[in-house]
Amino acid sequence: MIRLDQKAEILMKYFRENKSQRAISRELGISRTTVQKYIKEFESKNKALRELKKDEDHNKAEILLLIEEMA
C-alpha cells in the first residue's frame, strides 16, 4: 500500500512534469502497474467530475464527494 504523499507525487509527476509512467515507476521505486492504476483512477474521477458539473445545481453533493475523494 502506498502512502498518500506518494500518490500525490505520482500524479504531479505525470500531469505537471509530463513524465512517463515508466519514468515515474523507476524514479519512485513503485511498480508501473501501481503508477498506472492511480493515474487511471484520477483520470476517471476527473471525467466524472466534468460530467457532473454540466448540471451543477442538481449534483452539488456528488461533486463535493468526488472532489474530496480526489484530494
Taking only the tens of pLDDT, the chain with its 71 residues reads: 788 889 999 999 999 999 999 999 999 999 999 999 999 999 999 898 888 888 877 778 887 877 887 77
The model carries a pTM of: 0.80
Contact between 10 and 38 (Cβ < 8 Å):
yes
What is d(CA 7, CA 9) in angstroms, rounded to the nearest whole number? 5
What is d(CA 58, CA 8) in angstroms, rounded to the nearest whole number? 30
